[in-house]
Amino acid sequence: MTTLRFTKGHGTGNDFVLVSDPDGALSLTPAQRAALADRRFGVGGDGVIRAVRSQHLPAGRAVLEHEPDAEWFMDYTNADGSPAEMCGNGIRVFVRYLLEEGLAELPHGQSIAIATRAGIVDVHRLSSGFAADLGRWRLDGTEPLVRARGLSVARPGLGIGVGNPHVVVALASDEELDALDLGQAPHLDPTPTAGANVEFVVPADPLVVDGVGRIRMRVHERGSGETLSCGTGAAAAALAVRHWAGTSAPSSWQVTVPGGVLGVRMIPTEGGEHVTLSGPAELVYSGEITL
Q: Characterize the bridge pairing of strands 212-221 and 252-257.
A: parallel
- Of the residues 64, 131, 230, 235, which is catalytic? 230
Tell me the residue ranges of DSSP E strands in the chain.
3-11, 14-20, 47-53, 72-78, 111-116, 119-125, 130-136, 138-139, 145-147, 155-161, 165-170, 187-189, 197-209, 212-221, 225-227, 252-257, 260-267, 274-279, 282-290
Looking at residue 137, its amino acid is W
CA distance 267 to 145: 30
Q: Characterize the bridge pairing of strands 187-189 and 260-267.
A: unpaired
Burial class (CB within 10 angstroms; exposed 0-12, middle 13-18, buried 19+) of 58 = exposed
Does the active-site annotation cover 230? yes
- Of the residues 87, 131, 234, 239, which is catalytic? 87
Would you say how long the chain is, in residues?
Answer: 291
Q: Over the range 217-242, which residues count as b (16 or more CB within 10 Å of their CB) and which as e?
A: bbbbbbbbbbbbbbbbbbbbbbbbbb
Which backbone phi and psi does 128 adopt, to 5 degrees?
-140, 105
Q: Is 29 left (phi over 0), alpha (psi -120 to 50) or beta?
A: beta
Give the residue numbers marked as catalytic.
87, 230
